[in-house]
Amino acid sequence: MRIEQITSAQNPKIKNLLLLQEKSKARREQGLFVVEGRRELEHCLEGGYTVRTLFVCPEICPALPEVEAHIIEVPLDLYRKVAYRESTEGIIAEVAYKSLTLEDLNLPENPLIVVLESVEKPGNLGAVLRSADAAGADAVLIGDPLTDLYNPNLIRASIGAVFTVPVVAAESARIIEFLKAHNIQILTAQLQDSSFYYDLDMRRGTAIVMGTESTGLTDIWRKAADAHIRIPMLGRLDSLNVSVSAAILLFEAVRQRQN
């Protein structure tokens, strides 16, 4: 195992690490993204991703994870400059992209799928992925994405769930075609012309579709839906955070499927 030591923030490899953290264009061009933290890295490796470079701070990380990669040791003061948070066990990895397509999905009978249309906030998507993992969802599909799936904020918010749940980004029209071809019912979360979510049968193949909190779903999804569902809102507000809504709807599907 070759170990390199870097002590300067002006080193090109440190500058590139920061670039990958901050710029989605750099991530796309290099085909690399950044994973910070031992737990997140373990999920990443379990998901079959390849680590190219591993930055470690020996003062925080006395034992290296078992990974085939170029190892770079950095002192604590430099690690604090490149890490988002010091409580990530002194580990930051540069990892190669692995992009799934709809055709790559290996779905079981009666799959449970989450679809998010034009999600913008990495934190929201990360939180939805955590709920999808907890509910045992078979995939999360992003229609017409507006955020980078390998945004560091998304990875942190998901606590690595972006690696444990298959995630595919595609045009909404293509996702609808895929769901229809696989006989997966489309349930759109919306206020208009909708039924309470617990009145719908989610034991069959089901895709729960949600839009942005500001504008909701576009007409392409409303028209493609087999049913429209809503969560009862008993207060003065008419919506929940999309990640909270996703958790409620997913675990209703779990409840039905366990009965």
Confidence of residue 88 (pLDDT cuts 50, 70, 90): low
pLDDT reading at 62 higher than 80:
no
Residue ranges, CATH 3.30.1330.30, the chain:
3-96
Q: Where are the alpha helices (DSSP H) in the chain?
A: 12-22, 24-30, 38-46, 76-82, 122-134, 152-158, 161-164, 172-181, 219-224, 242-258
- Check residue 56 and give its pLDDT: 93
**Helix, strand, coil shares, percent, the chain, to 5:** 35, 20, 40
Confidence of residue 86 (pLDDT cuts 50, 70, 90): low
- Check residue 144 and give its pLDDT: 87
Q: What is the mean pLDDT of residues 88-102?
A: 90
Beta-bridge partners for 170: 143
CATH class, 102-258 region: alpha beta
- Check residue 220 and give its pLDDT: 94
CATH fold for the domain made of 3-96: 60s Ribosomal Protein L30; Chain: A; (3.30.1330)
Confidence of residue 184 (pLDDT cuts 50, 70, 90): very high
Burial class (CB in 10 A: 0-12, 13-18, 19+), 188: buried
Q: What is the mean pLDDT of residues 122-143?
A: 95
Confidence of residue 214 (pLDDT cuts 50, 70, 90): low
d(CA 248, CA 235): 17
- Check residue 87 and give its pLDDT: 65
- Residue-wise pLDDT for 2-57, tens only, equals 789 999 999 999 999 999 999 999 999 999 999 998 889 999 999 999 999 999 99
Q: What's phi and psi for 244, nearest 5 deg? A: -70, -45
> Is the model's pTM score more than 0.85?
yes
Residues of the chain above pLDDT 90, percent: 69
Residue ranges, CATH 3.40.1280.10, the chain:
102-258
- Check residue 13 and give its pLDDT: 97
- Check residue 114 and give its pLDDT: 97
Confidence of residue 116 (pLDDT cuts 50, 70, 90): very high
Beta-bridge partners for 73: 5, 56
d(CA 259, CA 252): 11
